Amino acid sequence: MVKKIDFNDLIDFNVQPTDNPFTCYLGYFEFDKILGYIEYNVLYDTIDIVNVFVKEEFRNKGIGSALLKELIDLAKNMSLKNITLEVNVLNDAAIKLYKKFNFTVVSIRRGYYKGIDGYLMELIL
């Protein structure tokens, strides 16, 4: 099950606190335990994904897809225009997940990840 959470729910994930008032979180729960989360910012008419994380032992079980689907549904319900994110060009699993939901590469950010390029990806809603 996916539901909105707050920063205090992520204590087991070593997430750094933020004072950004636009930051929100969705958590994926199973048996009252959070197995993964998505961190995002809602800015004007867009959502910018900051981080998607699933505990290693629970990867490849559809949790990332469930989180992303819920976020897309949330954005549509809010009548937002798009969702953006940056991803390391070497992160094949994440890129595959985003492409599954029709995100497209709109730009390359040279050296974005400590010298490794990043893709700027977007889903137009």
Confidence of residue 43 (pLDDT cuts 50, 70, 90): very high
pLDDT at 19: 86
pLDDT at 37: 97
Arithmetic mean of pLDDT, 34-61: 96
Arithmetic mean of pLDDT, 56-64: 95
The DSSP-derived string for 45-69 is TEEEEEEEEE-GGGTTSSHHHHHHH
What six digits make up the tokens of 30? 């199973």
Superfamily of domain 2-124 in CATH is Gcn5-related N-acetyltransferase (GNAT) (3.40.630.30)
Distances (CA, A) of 14 to 6, 11, 53, 106: 14, 6, 11, 31
Q: How far apart are CA 38 and CA 90, in angstroms?
A: 20
Query: Mean pLDDT, the chain, as a whole number?
Result: 95
pLDDT at 17: 81
pLDDT above 90: residue 16:
no
What six digits make up the tokens of 96? 């595959």
Q: Name every residue whose Cβ is closer than 8 Å to that of residue 116 and which is 6 or more positions away in sequence.
A: 88, 89, 90
Confidence of residue 8 (pLDDT cuts 50, 70, 90): confident
- Domain spans, the chain: 2-124
